[in-house]
Amino acid sequence: MIRHICMFKLREDKQSNIAEFLRRAESLREIPELKRFEAVRNDERTPDSNFDVSLIFDFDSVEDLNAYQISETHKKFGSFVAEVKTDRACIDYEF
């Protein structure tokens, strides 16, 4: 299994952007290669230096992760994220 974790810092109007990010992330559930889906926000009681939101996804293989990356659903979501993010960090690992 491959775990894919992406974290994002979002632009000003964070509360609105966080809500919209989480709402739009739900569209990713339809991608068949996705075995585990979690879209989360940072706890508001923690430091502002933390990332605002994260996607935590599991796939059976790197090939399935790659298929997810090029899917139209992911590309559409990615276009939205590009408009509202200021920073991104990502890691993919086998477990």
Q: Where are the domains of the chain?
A: 2-94
The pLDDT of 88-94, averaged and rounded, is 98
Sign, Cα dihedral of 10, 68, 22, 56: negative
Give the pLDDT score at 2: 98
Beta bridge partners of 85: 10
CA–CA distances in Å: residue 84 to residues 5, 43, 59, 65, 79: 18, 19, 26, 23, 9
What does pTM read for this prediction?
0.94
Give the pLDDT score at 57: 98
CA–CA distances in Å: residue 89 to residues 7, 30, 32: 5, 24, 24
**Please, what CATH class does the domain formed by 2-94 belong to?**
alpha beta
Give the pLDDT score at 84: 98
The pLDDT of 51-72, averaged and rounded, is 98
